[in-house]
């Protein structure tokens, strides 16, 4: 392929490869082992609580503990290569141990949002059919309802403060149990995570188990992770991300960041590790390059980040528009911005130009905006350092092709609007057990993103519209059908439609239009109903009660008309 077909390569740095022929490792397990051998006793992960209580594990410790968990999964839980293991926990020391153990066992990791309701968990468990679940104790009370009809044979329970020193671990445990009562009794058979590690460790030593043997037959194209996303229908779909997909995306992304120094970076991870952006870049890529990763279990309120910035020399951080905007409105952050920060990377949602400018004014360092999707591991494009353009999603990563196409999949003339299609080694193989859904988005090796974009003559891309009805709230995908189905459960609601509307805080917010059977039903009662069934960020922030909703000739509710009305009202 010539440079005229990829004009964006002119903006690559002098040492940036236009094409990356192969990943540096065959599998993620190989990467994990190599990093541990290289960085050994250096700190790998630190959990930092809002009050400064903390705990740290070195690369060696994470390697040994994840070995023990791999043995537990294979020898004691009875899992085989390719079996699925669901992880449902916030950021903390348990996460890398469990995730790396899953990979070492030759199993498939299934990330689950820990804030999901039992109904949302059930849908994902029913589809993925995990053989084991690692879940934080704060949410373990949801397990009976979430596994009804499709039980998970192995339940491993961990804690937010797991592997912190005994004193802070004990204090946090007492607060959770007796003060805020956030930990409820667990009513299903389970094993505690430290006990599972101890059992795996004992078995490994006694029987001289070679952990590397578990994943020797794993191939680069084998599925490493099922990362769940939705679509225009809102049906949960597991994007099958292979070892090659994830490894190549790490390498592609780091290729565009020459300022990264191996073994020297301190990365702040406030985004949840179950989110594909933080999973690939923060968890895996920063481990690979020997960074110290500061894990924040809960970034809300934003004062929860204060001690992390005070106590550690943060050099890199990733976030979404909401996080950067929020920090720029925190007095403590403005009074003492991070001194050692080199760059910040934004993903998950559009970065507003005024937020990017203010962040750079406050910190003296730019935010590097990229673009990607769950199905692409996730990064497809990036604004090169020093060559950022306002409103642009940047240029394609090495070994990545982007183009704009019409409804038939044919490229549109340059400068015209079309759906962004992507091809590259980071693109998923398809959706788990959903060939029909896969066929909709995969065309002749090209992945259709659902985003409408324009490419400038020199290769910079811009998103101008979204083909899908998906709503992005603080970087999280929300699908209207799911919310509408929830609203329809209420006997007082006749029909409903949901759209995304601009929001200064979260980028977009969920707005519900409802027609009532029960005229006494209030907006507050409608939102309360949604809170019973949906994660907080999916609950409509705004509710408008209508006498009727716009419909097509065949009776289909026209969300586009509601969006147009809302936009006109805002002008």
Residue whose structure tokens are 């490493």: 224
Phi, psi of 193 (to 5 degrees): -55, -45
Number of Cβ within 10 Å of residue 197's Cβ equals 25
User: How far apart, in whole angstroms, are the C-alpha atoms of residue 156 and residue 102?
Assistant: 13
User: How far apart, in whole angstroms, are the C-alpha atoms of residue 401 and residue 483?
Assistant: 34
Average pLDDT across the chain, whole number: 92
User: How far apart, in whole angstroms, are the C-alpha atoms of residue 294 and residue 156?
Assistant: 24
- 1 pLDDT above the threshold of 50: no
- 489-510 core/surface letters (b: 16 or more CB in 10 A; e: else): ebebbbbbbbbbbebeebbbbb
In order, the DSSP letters of 226-289 are EEEE--TT---EEEEEEHHHHHHHHHHHHHT-TT--TTT-EEEE-S-TTSHHIIIIIIIIHHHT
| Stretch 31-50: mean pLDDT | 97
The pLDDT of residue 232 is 38
pLDDT confidence of 230, banded at 50, 70, 90? low
Q: Which residues contact 295 (CB under 8 A, 6 or more apart)?
A: 45, 46, 47, 48, 91, 92, 93, 95, 269, 273
pTM value > 0.75: yes
The pLDDT of residue 523 is 96
| CA gyration radius, the chain | 23
- 468 pLDDT above the threshold of 80: no
pLDDT confidence of 322, banded at 50, 70, 90? confident
- Per residue in 334-352, pLDDT (tens digit) is 999 999 999 899 877 667 7
What is the second-level CATH architecture of the domain 471-570?
A: 2-Layer Sandwich (3.30)
Q: How far does CA 382 lie from the centroid of its chain?
A: 17
- 179 pLDDT above the threshold of 80: no
The pLDDT of residue 3 is 56
- Per residue in 68-89, pLDDT (tens digit) is 999 999 999 999 999 999 999 9
| Stretch 359-364: mean pLDDT | 95
Fold of 51-218: Rossmann fold (3.40.50)
User: How far apart, in whole angstroms, are the C-alpha atoms of residue 458 and residue 33?
Assistant: 41
Percentage of residues in the chain having pLDDT higher than 90? 74
Length of the chain: 571
- Per residue in 190-220, pLDDT (tens digit) is 999 999 999 999 999 999 999 999 999 999 9
Higher pLDDT, residue 496 or 555: 496
- Per residue in 102-114, pLDDT (tens digit) is 999 999 999 999 9
* Segments making up each domain of the chain, as ranges: 51-218, 471-570
Which H or E run contains 465? strand 461-466
- Closest CA relative to residue 295, chosen from 70, 29, 62: 62
Alpha helices in 180-228 (DSSP H): 193-207
Strand partners, 149: none
Phi, psi of 221 (to 5 degrees): -90, 0
Instruction: Record the tokens describing residue 143, joined without a space.
Output: 């397990």
The pLDDT of residue 231 is 43
- Per residue in 525-555, pLDDT (tens digit) is 999 999 999 999 999 999 999 999 998 655 5
- Per residue in 412-458, pLDDT (tens digit) is 998 998 999 999 999 999 999 999 999 999 999 999 999 889 999 99
């Amino acid at each position: 392929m010539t440079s005229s077909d990829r004009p964006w390569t002119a903006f690559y740095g002098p040492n940036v490869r236009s094409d990356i022929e192969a990943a540096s490792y065959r599998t993620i397990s190989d990467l994990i082992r190599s990093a541990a051998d290289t960085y050994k006793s250096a700190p790998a992960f630190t959990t930092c609580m809002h009050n400064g209580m903390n705990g740290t594990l070195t690369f060696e410790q994470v390697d040994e503990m994840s070995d023990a968990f791999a043995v537990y999964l294979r020898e004691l839980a009875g899992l085989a290569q390719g079996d699925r293991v669901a992880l449902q926990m916030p950021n903390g020391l348990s996460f890398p141990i469990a995730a790396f153990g899953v990979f070492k066992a030759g199993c498939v990791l299934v990330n689950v949002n820990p804030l999901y309701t039992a109904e949302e968990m059930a849908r994902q468990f029913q589809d993925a059919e995990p053989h084991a679940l690692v879940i934080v104790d704060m949410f373990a009370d949801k397990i009976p309802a979430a596994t009804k009809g499709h039980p998970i044979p192995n339940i491993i329970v961990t804690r937010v403060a797991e592997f912190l020193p005994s004193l802070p671990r004990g204090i946090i445990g007492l607060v959770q149990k007796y003060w805020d009562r956030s930990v409820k009794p667990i009513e299903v058979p389970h094993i505690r995570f430290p006990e599972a590690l101890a059992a795996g460790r004992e078995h490994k030593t006694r029987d001289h188990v070679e952990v590397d043997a578990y994943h020797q037959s794993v191939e680069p194209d084998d599925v490493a992770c099922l990362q769940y996303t939705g679509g225009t229908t809102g049906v949960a779909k597991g994007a099958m991300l292979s070892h090659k997909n994830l490894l190549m995306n790490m390498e592609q992304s780091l290729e565009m960041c020459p300022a990264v120094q191996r073994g020297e970076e301190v990365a702040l991870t406030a985004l949840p590790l179950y989110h594909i952006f933080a999973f690939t870049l923060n968890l895996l890529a920063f481990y690979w390059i020997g960074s110290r990763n500061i894990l924040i279990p809960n970034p809300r309120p934003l004062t929860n980040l204060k001690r992390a910035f005070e106590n550690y020399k943060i050099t890199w951080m990733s976030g979404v528009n909401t996080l950067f905007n929020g920090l720029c409105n925190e007095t403590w952050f403005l009074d003492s911005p991070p001194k050692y920060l080199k760059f910040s990377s934004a993903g998950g949602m559009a970065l507003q130009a005024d937020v990017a400018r203010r962040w750079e004014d406050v910190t003296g360092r730019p935010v590097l905006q990229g673009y990607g999707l769950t199905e692409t591991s996730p990064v497809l494009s990036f604004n090169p350092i020093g060559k950022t353009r306002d409103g642009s999603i940047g240029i394609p990563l090495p070994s990545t092709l982007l183009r704009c196409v019409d409804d038939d999949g044919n490229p549109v003339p340059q400068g015209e609007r079309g759906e962004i299609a992507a091809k590259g080694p980071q693109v998923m193989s398809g959706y788990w057990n959903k060939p029909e859904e896969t066929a909709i988005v995969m065309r002749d090796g090209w992945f259709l993103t659902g985003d409408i974009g324009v490419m400038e003559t020199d290769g910079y891309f811009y998103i101008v519209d979204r083909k899908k009805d998906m709503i992005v709230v603080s970087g999280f995908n929300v699908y209207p059908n799911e919310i509408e189905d929830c609203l329809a459960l209420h006997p007082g609601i006749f029909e409903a439609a949901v759209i995304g509307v601009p929001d200064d805080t979260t980028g977009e917010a969920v707005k519900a239009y409802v027609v009532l059977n029960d005229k006494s039903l209030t907006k507050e009662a409608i939102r309360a109903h949604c809170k019973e069934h949906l994660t907080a960020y999916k609950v409509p922030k705004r509710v408008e009660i209508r006498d009727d909703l716009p419909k097509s000739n065949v009776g289909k509710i026209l969300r586009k008309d509601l969006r147009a009305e809302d936009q006109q009202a805002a002008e």
